[in-house]
Amino acid sequence: MAKKKSLAGLLTAVSCIAWLIIIIALMFTFLRGELKNESRYLAFYEEYRIEERTGLTPKGATEALMALVDYMEGDRDSIQLTVEEYGVPVEMCSEDEIHHMVDVYYLYQGFAKFQPAGIACAAVILLIGWYANKNGLPNIPLRSFFWGLGLFILIGGGLALWAVLDFTSFWTAFHLAFFSNDLWLMDPRVSRMIRICPEHLFSGIAGRMAAKTAAMLGVICIALVAYYRQSRKKEG
């Protein structure tokens, strides 16, 4: 009995870690979709009146931002492009911005690895669920889902609260944790990249990503509970 309980605990722990990876993979998948939404950028810049603020047209700002996204995706070799600022052709990015985006590229590609990892973790959870049912163990996938979700909410909620209360310190800590240089310190008075990336552009992206992730996790939760109840009926 003790051995069976220990095995159940081990399988739950492994499944909990797998669920955490799946949740991060889901978030990145929805983030990727949001970042590639060119029409939403264009609408945002028109409403934001980007031309009055920066001299860049909504179309020009959108092209510049899509160049950043395409570069992070590995679909172009450089973020540099020529845009019109107050009707005058200029190079969009400085040398420091170009070098900083190299670091961002590697960070983005690192997070992209969570997507195949998430698929592998889903397979692991299915295998553990099958093994648990065959050996009369509790419904480990459902239990570990709630453990993993709770842990994610605890960590993610803490980080989100920090960002809401003091976004500047959160943003600084994020960059210090992931970047080994100070190229991310840009002056909004001269940096076109900063001027086309206002805070509420990314808060909107983050909000939609979070909403889609929450909806998907809700679907997964309902499916797991339904499966668990059906299994209990069969046993009864």
DSSP state string for 76-123: SS-S--EEEETTEEEES--HHHHHHHHHHHHHHHHHHTHHHHHHHHHH
Q: Which of 129, 139, 143, 124 is nearest to 21 (CA)?
A: 124
Chain segment 90-120, per-residue pLDDT in tens: 999 999 999 999 999 999 999 999 999 999 9
Rounded to 5, what percent of the chain is helix, strand, coil? 80, 5, 20
pTM here is 0.90
Q: How many domains does the chain have?
A: 1
d(CA 61, CA 198): 12
Q: Which of 77, 39, 75, 45 is nearest to 60 (CA)?
A: 45
Expressed as residue numbers, the domain containing 203 is: 2-235
d(CA 142, CA 133): 12
Chain segment 124-141, per-residue pLDDT in tens: 999 998 888 888 776 888
Do the Cβ atoms of 67 and 76 come closer than 8 Å?
Answer: yes
Where the chain has pLDDT below 50, the residues are none
